[in-house]
């Protein structure tokens, strides 16, 4: 087994244990393996080990890596977890199965237009800037519910869940709790939260998917 495969198994085991400790149904938390900055060669062993759900933060990088891998492996589910520029909406809709970073009106409008033009419907999450960090993408938590409603009513977009990245230097628990609260208020089922350093905590707070990169592939 390669290092990445061993680490993948360890992460899966920890997710299973966290589900059990939180009285969650076994297998209810999806593992999104974040392969950004790692090339196809590094990803292949993880695919061979059965992992099928991956996250990338750049449209262009993903375009260079995944079409060929998709020809070799079936059932791949690709998540966009990085900020989306409106001039990349077309490529993003064509490539990704889930776009987790819808965070402003202009992107919602572009996505709606492209989804219609391409007849493709990637599943969508709204990214929430729970820490109100200036440099970070995501909508203000106080505007999130209204934005989810506008996505539906104005743009005809069904939002499936919410995503957040807590500030690096803070206890993530309150951020996960806030995201879960907004999701309840907005009537959303899915919560994408938790990364290598805090995915077990995120499971305890109700994450339905965790995005784990370095704990599987190593440091970037
Ligand atoms: C890179 C990244 C991750 C994975 O981070 P690790 O700490 O390596 O697990 C998760 N989510 C987003 C949005 C990322 O950009």
What does the block give as tokens for 7? 């680490």
Instruction: Please list the residues that pair with 128 across neighbouring strands.
Output: 139
Instruction: Count CB neighbours of 71 within 10 A.
Output: 8
- In the block, tokens 């290092």 appear at 3
pLDDT-derived band at 2, boundaries 50, 70, 90: confident
Does 27 score more than 80 pLDDT? yes
Cβ burial 4-27 (10 Å sphere, 16+ → b, else e): bbebbeebbebbeebbeeeebeee
Tell me, yes or no, if the pTM score tops 0.95. Answer: yes
The share of the chain scoring above pLDDT 90, in percent, equals 99
Ligand 1 in contact with 165 (CB < 6 A)? Answer: yes
The mean per-residue pLDDT over the stretch 52-58 comes to 98
Does 98 score more than 90 pLDDT? yes
Ligand 1 in contact with 183 (CB < 6 A)? Answer: no
Average pLDDT, rounded, for the chain: 97
Ligand 1 in contact with 95 (CB < 6 A)? Answer: no
The share of the chain scoring above pLDDT 70, in percent, equals 100
CA of 56 to the centre of ligand 1 (A): 9
* Total residues found in the chain within this entry: 220
What does the block give as tokens for 93? 């809709």
Residue range 146-199, pLDDT digits in tens: 999 999 999 999 999 999 999 999 999 999 999 999 999 999 999 999 999 999
The mean per-residue pLDDT over the stretch 134-150 comes to 97
CA of 173 to the centre of ligand 1 (A): 17
Question: Which residue CA neighbors atom 11 of ligand 1 most closely?
Answer: 211
Decide: 30 and 53 in contact? Cβ < 8 Å: yes
CA–CA separation, 48 and 94 (whole Å): 25
pLDDT at 26: 98
What beta strand segments (E) does 28-154 contain? 30-34, 53-56, 77-80, 98-102, 123-127
126 SS3 class: strand
Residue 47: C-alpha distances to residues 33, 63, 151, 217, 218 (Å)? 10, 17, 34, 12, 16
pLDDT-derived band at 57, boundaries 50, 70, 90: very high
């Amino acid at each position: 087994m390669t290092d990445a495969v061993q680490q993948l198994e360890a992460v899966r085991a920890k997710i299973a244990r966290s589900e059990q400790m939180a009285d969650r149904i076994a297998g209810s938390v999806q593992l999104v393996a974040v392969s950004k900055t790692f090339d196809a060669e590094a990803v292949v062993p993880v695919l061979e080990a059965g992992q099928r759900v991956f996250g990338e933060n750049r449209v262009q990088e993903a375009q260079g890596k995944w079409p060929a891998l998709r020809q070799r492996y079936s059932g791949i589910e690709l998540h966009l977890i990085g900020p989306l520029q409106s001039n990349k909406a077309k490529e993003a809709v064509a490539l990704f199965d889930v776009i987790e970073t819808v965070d402003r009106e202009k992107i919602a409008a572009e996505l709606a237009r492209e989804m219609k033009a391409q007849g493709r419907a990637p599943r969508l999450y709204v990214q929430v800037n729970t820490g109100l960090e200036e440099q970070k993408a995501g909508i203000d938590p106080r505007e999130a519910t209204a934005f989810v409603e506008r996505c539906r009513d104005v743009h005809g977009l069904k939002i499936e869940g919410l995503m957040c990245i807590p500030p690096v230097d803070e206890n993530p628990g309150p951020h996960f709790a806030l995201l879960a609260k907004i999701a309840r208020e907005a009537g959303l089922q899915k919560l994408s939260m938790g990364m290598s350093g805090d995915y077990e905590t995120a499971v305890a707070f109700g994450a339905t998917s965790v995005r784990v990169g370095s704990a599987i592939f190593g440091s970037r």
